[in-house]
Amino acid sequence: MAQNGRPRLSENLSNSQSLLDIRDLKVVYLTARGPVRAVDGVSFAIRPGEVVGLAGESGSGKSTIAHATLRILHPPALITGGHVLFNNRDILEMGEIELEQFRWSNIAIVFQSAMNALNPVMRVRDQLLDVMQYHGIPKAVASEQAIALFDLVGIDPQRLDAYPHQLSGGMRQRVVIAIALALKPSLLILDEPTTALDVVVQKDILHQISELKEKLGFSIMFITHDLSLLVEISNRIAIMYAGEIVEKAPARVLFDQPLHPYTLGLMNSFPSISGDKHRLTGIPGSPPDLVNPPPGCRFHPRCAQAMPICSQEAPVTRSMSDSHSVACHLYAEV
Amino acid sequence: MTQTSSDPMLNTDQPARKPPILDVRGLTKYFPIGTFVSNRLVHAVEDVSFSVRRGQVVSLVGESGSGKTTIIRLIARLIPVTQGEILFNGIDVLKSEPRQASLDYRRKVQLIFQDPFASLNVVHNIEHHLARPLIIHKKAANRSDIHDLVCNLLETVGLNPAPEIARRYPHQLSGGQRQRVAIARALAVDPELILADEPISMLDVSIRMDILNLIDDLKAKNDISYVYITHDLASARYIGDKTMVMYAGHMVEGGPSEDITRNAMHPYTQLLLSAVPDPHAGLRTDSGVTVRGEVPSLINPPPGCPFAARCSKVMAICRQEIPGTSEIDSEHWVRCHLFV
């Protein structure tokens, strides 16, 4: 629709309850083969103190949403529509100078490859101080805060003088989290924060993040492909497929009563450690090419319950209850 | 687990009557590091013993650096063994073929790697990848035979239409399809044992089960045995008849997969289990066994149990002696001083 320049948001649309409110966000990557519609009309909100999980396979647009929220997308990526409201301010309307002050002090991100996010030739202390000094905290104050931050994430402050290669993978991840928390953001985006870590370390870090969240009261956007992990850590979960949100629900509801066939398929892709052992099916086929997404519902070529209408019309998102919504023709008439 | 039986426990009994295809005894690998003036050794694999019966899948589980991959590289004889025996069909291959593995051994023991993007050559098409083992191991006489065999292989692993796929190049296939090609390549030479090194960890979640089920089907159909390496206890249980748990180069516990997950004895196995996210068990905040810490350095490690530094039940003896093997029952064993 709004390809060039988004329409201004009318005032009464603002929803004061949400910390972050993403509405109809659209991002394309311009490639030689044509535009890749990586995020295609995604809407969801994060309330203060809430953990919202974004789940989906690689290429489903999860990370693109995170990057769009911080406006750190680079060409050929282009935000073509929608609004990203943070405390009712549209991030997509901010100027560069305002944006520079806004980033990190309000929203910080822990990247997927956090182990490589650190500069190998700088001591971790300097990398921590760098962030704080850039945002105008005097060096003396920042030095003290650096020690407090290391305490907070469970690393001996003596390790502040270490170089990244002298730290283990788990410790490096903690350093990156400390840097993310340096300016006390109210929203922390975690983009596959533990994918590269071993299970035991992963558990430690997640435990720590939950503790910090309770203590400091920030909200979390948690991005991962591991649904079983999300069910444990999130309040609400949005399931993404091929650039769209196909189902949204509170974590427990989603786990107990998944509605969308894709969500069901994802649930069927993780063997359990304690449940009965039965053959799991996964999902046949592979995700679509987003240059030419399939017509109708994007999931229909892989869907076991596809009907004729699924290849013709894109399903609209329908609320099944206060907090549970799904975009699927199976639930068109309720 | 397989489609023939609803009770997974029955399957673990069935191959029990068959002789072991692979029997590893006291396998040890030290890597020297540093310059010639220092003689530091990385104790990558230390005194590991286990066996794989015909038609059985044995899962090796452990964190990164626990020595899983080194074990299968030793079994495949890609690197020399420091100490120990590898009995294949009852013959100690390190003695019978001391310098390097024979062509026959390399045919019977095949590998599947973790990264299907790195294990296929970008400048050759799929037919080339599958034809090579057929030519090297003299499985086909002429070009048209080779083409037919290649197509058969592709169909076996569910890649259709086969002639079309055979012409494609790796970049034209998805990750799951590439991993199927890697499996087809291993199958090309009628192997008896396949060593699979984290074959699903690089794949999209929705297609992982497809690949695991394919491995499982091939096990039943072609009577192939597997050593399956993973860091994920849940998938180890899903596919493995037996599960062996590795920690810092040591094998600390082993037994039928069901026993390992339901009745874990070793404190490390219990720690691993508690770390697996499991929504089926309900939302847990903490199970109480969480121990901070990471795998110790493997360079000239201190004496005693490798897990002693992190173990909540550590005793004085744990820091002095490496525990011997204690049997919990006929199949399930543990190496921990608590059970001596």
How much is the ipTM here?
0.78
pTM score of the predicted model: 0.84
| Mean per-residue pLDDT of chain B | 86
Count CB-CB contacts under 10 A for residue B172. Answer: 12
C-alpha span between A95 and A80 (Å, rounded): 17
Q: Report whether pLDDT(A289) > 50.
A: yes
Per-residue pLDDT tens over the stretch B320-331: 999 999 999 989
Superfamily of domain A20-47+60-95+227-331: P-loop containing nucleotide triphosphate hydrolases (3.40.50.300)
Residues of B in contact with A58 (CB under 8 A): 204
Contact assignment for B63 to A198 by CB distance below 8 Å: yes
Strands B20-33 and A51-55: unpaired
Q: How much is the pLDDT for B13?
A: 47
Nearest CA in chain A to B292: A204
Pick from A168, A227, A279: CB nearest B213: A279
- Cβ partners under 8 Å of residue B43, min gap 6: B30, B249, B298, B299, B300, B301
Per-residue pLDDT tens over the stretch A71-119: 998 888 999 999 999 998 999 999 999 998 899 999 999 987 766 789 9
Q: How much is the pLDDT for A5?
A: 47
Q: What is the DSSP string of B33-81?
A: ES-TT--EEEEEEEEEEEEEETT-EEEEE--TTSSHHHHHHHHTTSS--
Three-class SS state of A182: coil
Percent above pLDDT 90 for chain A: 55
Q: How much is the pLDDT for B337?
A: 94
Confidence of residue A57 (pLDDT cuts 50, 70, 90): confident
Q: Which of A95-109, A237-251, B286-300 is predicted least confidently?
A: B286-300
Q: Report whether pLDDT(A45) > 90.
A: yes
Three-class SS state of B254: strand
Per-residue pLDDT tens over the stretch B49-87: 999 999 999 999 998 888 999 999 999 999 999 999 999
Confidence of residue B254 (pLDDT cuts 50, 70, 90): very high
Whether the bond between B256 and the residue before it is cis, its omega within 30 degrees of 0, is: no
Q: What is the DSSP string of B158-195?
A: T-SSHHHHHH--GGGS-HHHHHHHHHHHHHTT--SEEE
Go through chain A and tell me how many residues it has. 334
Q: By C-alpha distance, which of B181, B286, B246, B191 is closest to B50?
A: B246
Q: Are B323 and B337 in contact (CB under 8 A)?
A: yes
Tokens encoding A149: 């931050």
Q: By C-alpha distance, which of B62, B13, B4 is closest to B259?
A: B13
Contact assignment for A200 to B232 by CB distance below 8 Å: no
Contact assignment for B280 to A274 by CB distance below 8 Å: yes
Q: Report whether pLDDT(B228) > 50.
A: yes
Higher pLDDT, B34 or A160: A160
Contact assignment for B283 to A269 by CB distance below 8 Å: no
Per-residue pLDDT tens over the stretch B77-126: 999 999 999 999 999 999 998 888 899 999 999 999 988 888 999 999 99
Percent above pLDDT 90 for chain B: 58
Contact assignment for B210 to A284 by CB distance below 8 Å: yes
Is B301's Cβ below 8 Å from some Cβ in A? no
Interface-testing mutation among B204, B230, B231, with chain A (most A C-beta atoms within 10 A): B204
- Cβ partners under 8 Å of residue B171, min gap 6: B122
Q: What is the DSSP letter of B202?
A: T
For chain B, domains (ranges, CATH) are 8-122+169-339 (3.40.50.300)
Confidence of residue B280 (pLDDT cuts 50, 70, 90): low
Q: What is the DSSP letter of B299?
A: B
Nearest CA in chain A to B281: A274
Pick from A204, A265, A271: CB nearest B206: A265
Q: How much is the pLDDT for A311?
A: 92
Q: How much is the pLDDT for B93?
A: 93
Residues of A in contact with B204 (CB under 8 A): 57-58, 225, 286-287
Q: Are A75 and A279 in contact (CB under 8 A)?
A: no
C-alpha span between B295 and B250 (Å, rounded): 12
Contact assignment for A269 to B277 by CB distance below 8 Å: no
Q: Are B298 and B249 in contact (CB under 8 A)?
A: yes
Higher pLDDT, A213 or A284: A213
C-alpha span between B219 and B214 (Å, rounded): 9
